[in-house]
Amino acid sequence: MYIPLGIFRLTLATFVLIVHTENVYPIFKNDVNFGGLGVWLFYLVSGFVIFSAHDNFYRGRAKNYLINRLIRIFPTLWFCLLFSLAILYYARLMGIEVGLIRADSYGIKEFLLSLTVIGGFLNENVWGPLPPGATLTIEMKFYVLSAVIFFTVDKYFKNNGRGLFIFAILFLIAYIVVDLTNSQYRWFGALRYSPVFILGAAAYYTMKLGWQNLGATTIFILAALMTVHFTLVTGSSSSYDGWEPSQIRITTSMLFVSMFFLLNFLVRIHVESKIKIIDQFMGDLTYPLYLVQIPLLALIFMFFDMSGIIDWIILYSMCVVASIALHFALQRPLVVLRRKWRGKEI
C-alpha cells in the first residue's frame, strides 16, 4: 500500500529552508522553531516508514534494507558536499565572503569522513561545508541500528512483536539516560532522538494492529510523552538546552503534535493513481531539497542582496528547480537498483 507522505515530507524540507533564509524574510523569526519542527518530524516519518518497510518488504532481509538506504543517501550527499566545497574554493579565489557554509579545520581527513556519513560521529568539523549532513548523521545511526534490530528480531525471536517491543523499551531508556546524564554529545548522544523515531514506528504498528494491542499501545503512549518532553528541552533542531517551557517551545511542541495528527490521517487514506504520482514526485524532491538548499543559498547570497516575500519565493523556486534536476540526474537512474534490493514493488 502506498503511503501518501510526499507533500508532507516536502513541507518539512521547506520548514528547514525557512530557517536558512531568516535574513531574507525575517517575519518567520522567533515565533516557531521551524528547524526543529522539520528535522524532528523527519525522524518521526523515518520511524514510521522504516518499520513499515521492514514489515512489508524486508523480513529476514536486513542487509537488503540497509543497502537500499545507502543507495538512496550517498549519491545526492556526495554531489551536494562537492558543490559546497566548490563554492568555498571559488569564494576564496575571488576573495568573496561566503555565509552558511564554512571550512574551518576542514581538510582531507574531514573530507573522507564526510563521504562516509557516519564520520560525523568522529569529528565535529566534518559538516562545516554542508550543515544538513549533521542531522543526516543521526538519521544514518538510526538506519544502521534498525538494520541490527531487524536482523536480531528476524533471527532470534519467533514473535517479532515481542522483540520489537524489547528494543523499543531499550531505546526509550537510552533517551532517559542521555537526558539525566547530560551526555548528548557523547558517541551515543544521538539516542536522545529515540522517542521521536520510536513514536513513528509505534504509530505504524497501532495503525496495523489496532489500539487493543497492548504492546504497541504502551510503546505509543510512552514515546508520545517522551517526545513532548523532548520538544521542550531542545532549542534549535539539535541543541540541547534543558527543560524550558518557553513560548516558542510550547508553540513548536503544539505544532509538532498537530503535524503528527495530520500524518496519522494521511497514512490512513487511499489515494488515486494521479494523486499518487504527484505525491510520490514531491516526496522524491524532499531529500535533494534538504541537502542542496545550503550550498545554493550560499552561492546566491554571495552575489545578490535579497529581502522580502517575493525574493523568498524566488529563492525557494530556485531550490526546488535544483532539487528536480538532482532527482532526474542522480536519484531516478538508481530507482531500478533500489527496487532490486527491495525485491518488491510498492
The domain segmentation of the chain, as residue ranges, is 6-342
Type of residue found at 227? T
Q: Give yes or no for residue 268 having a pLDDT over 70.
A: yes
Q: Give yes or no for residue 98 having a pLDDT over 60.
A: yes
Q: What is the full DSSP assignment across 70-125?
A: HHHHHHHHHHHHHHHHHHHHHHHHHT----S---TT--HHHHHHHHTSGGGGT-TT
DSSP type of residue 328 = I
Average pLDDT over residues 122-146: 88
pLDDT score recorded for residue 116: 86
Q: Give yes or no for residue 344 having a pLDDT over 60.
A: no
Mean pLDDT of the chain: 90
pLDDT single digits (tens) 301-322: 888 887 788 889 999 999 999 9
pLDDT score recorded for residue 29: 64
Q: Give the range among 10-14, 106-110, 174-178, 281-285 with minimum mean pLDDT.
A: 106-110
pLDDT score recorded for residue 152: 96
The grid cell for 320 is: 526546488
Average pLDDT over residues 216-224: 97
Evaluate whether 131 touches 101 at the Cβ level (below 8 Å).
yes
Report residue 343's pLDDT band, with 50, 70 and 90 as the boundaries.
low
Distance of CA 97 to the CA centre of its chain: 29
From CA 208, how far away is CA 216, in angstroms rounded?
A: 10
Measure the CA dihedral 23/25/31/36, to 10°: -70
Evaluate whether 33 touches 249 at the Cβ level (below 8 Å).
yes
Average pLDDT over residues 94-119: 85
Residue % of the chain over a pLDDT of 90: 58
234 beta partners: 240
pLDDT score recorded for residue 309: 85
pLDDT single digits (tens) 13-70: 999 999 888 877 776 666 888 999 999 999 999 999 999 999 988 999 999 999 999 9
pLDDT score recorded for residue 30: 67
Evaluate whether 80 touches 291 at the Cβ level (below 8 Å).
yes
pLDDT single digits (tens) 66-81: 999 999 999 999 999 9
Average pLDDT over residues 166-184: 93
Mention every residue, 6+ apart, whose C-beta is less than 8 A from residue 44.
Answer: 196, 197, 199, 200, 203, 260, 263
Q: Give yes or no for residue 163 having a pLDDT over 50.
A: yes
Residue % of the chain over a pLDDT of 70: 97
Q: Give yes or no for residue 346 having a pLDDT over 50.
A: no
Report residue 345's pLDDT band, with 50, 70 and 90 as the boundaries.
very low
pLDDT score recorded for residue 299: 92
Average pLDDT over residues 119-127: 79
